[in-house]
Amino acid sequence: MIIDTHVHIADTKFDADRKDVIQRAFNSKINKLIEISCEMCYWEKSLELIQQENIFASFGIHPIDVLKAVKNDYEKLEFLIQNKKCVAVGEIGLDYHYDNSKENVDAQKKSLEFQLNLAQKYNKPIIVHCRDAYDDIIDFLKKRSFVPQGVIHCFSGSLEHAKIFVDMGFYLGIDGPVTYKKSDILKEVLKNIAIDRLLVETDCPYLTPQKYRGTRNEPAYVVEVVKEIANIKKLDLQEVEKVTTQNALVLFKGIK
């Protein structure tokens, strides 16, 4: 069985057929989903979703959203994190892709600090979103006396970055891009990082694997990520399924 550790099923792109998408996942090899709810506008919908069996959530305020977030949102977040089906805090992190102005970077760091403290307070792992900011986030985390356990979502850095994160105790999240022809660096990373540090994710509706590229991504397609990891690491499919599922259960202790 496989756990898709990163889905955005509350997204409006699933409004027309959300039930079918979830059913297709559970009818295939996927037995649990983690709904990543990191945009304030989706929190309510995600809360509804986790009333279903085998769907868990992570709540957070995404770095892209921090300039929109007000004090009240952070109070609400703290409340959501205490939900018994909330198994992580995130996506949280740094994203310099669209805006690396000082104002935005300072706001992102302040928000990250606040949410790291929440994760620590409630003893939850973190889902780290990092784009064009690997060196900065490593510096930032290393300055803290305590860093919660977590996963570097959709890892896309260098092998050197990968080794640093693994040394810090993080898992690396692997998504659809691993199946793309141009992902040489990621393939090299996978050859050099032990399977017991990897988690599989779809990030659906985004990052559709090569086989279905051009269409909306969905949890059932996480199988393509598992296949590609098995291929790169020359392991049995069953072994990759077993170990990555075990990794998810170790990290996300709230999954029962």
For the CB of residue 8, give the shortest distance to Ni ion in the complex, in Å: 6
The candidate with the shortest Cα–Cα distance to 77, out of 32, 117, 131, 107, is 117
Residues 29-68, interacting with Ni ion (CB under 5 A): none
Residues 99-118, interacting with Ni ion (CB under 5 A): none
What tokens does 252 get?
A: 């996300």
For the CB of residue 139, give the shortest distance to Ni ion in the complex, in Å: 23
For the CB of residue 126, give the shortest distance to Ni ion in the complex, in Å: 13
What tokens does 227 get?
A: 């296949």
Toward Ni ion, which CB reaches closer, 233 or 248?
A: 248
The candidate with the shortest Cα–Cα distance to 162, out of 189, 129, 185, 196, is 189
Toward Ni ion, which CB reaches closer, 90 or 148?
A: 90
What tokens does 24 get?
A: 């297709």
Toward Ni ion, which CB reaches closer, 95 or 203?
A: 203
Toward Ni ion, which CB reaches closer, 203 or 241?
A: 203
For the CB of residue 62, give the shortest distance to Ni ion in the complex, in Å: 8
Toward Ni ion, which CB reaches closer, 129 or 233?
A: 129
Is residue 105 within 8 A of residue 63, CB to CB? The reply is: no
Is residue 118 within 8 A of residue 89, CB to CB? The reply is: yes
What tokens does 193 get?
A: 């990082």
Toward Ni ion, which CB reaches closer, 90 or 233?
A: 90
Is residue 90 within 8 A of residue 36, CB to CB? The reply is: yes
Toward Ni ion, which CB reaches closer, 58 or 244?
A: 58
CB atoms within 10 A of CB 160: 9
What tokens does 221 get?
A: 């397609």
For the CB of residue 102, give the shortest distance to Ni ion in the complex, in Å: 26
Q: How many residues bind Ni ion (CB under 5 A)?
A: 1
Residues 164-203, interacting with Ni ion (CB under 5 A): 203
Residues 130-159, interacting with Ni ion (CB under 5 A): none
- The 202-231 site mask, x for binding Ni ion (CB under 5 A), equals -x----------------------------
Whole-angstrom CA distances from 246 to 196, 241, 242 are: 8, 8, 6
What number of CA atoms fall less than 13 Å from residue 2's CA on the CB side?
27
Number of residue whose CB is nearest Ni ion: 203
For the CB of residue 238, give the shortest distance to Ni ion in the complex, in Å: 27
Q: Is 11 in the site for Ni ion (CB under 5 A)?
A: no
Rounded Cα gap, residues 99 and 130, in angstroms: 13
For the CB of residue 63, give the shortest distance to Ni ion in the complex, in Å: 12
Rounded Cα gap, residues 201 and 176, in angstroms: 8
Rounded Cα gap, residues 255 and 232, in angstroms: 29
Binding site for Ni ion (CB under 5 A): 203
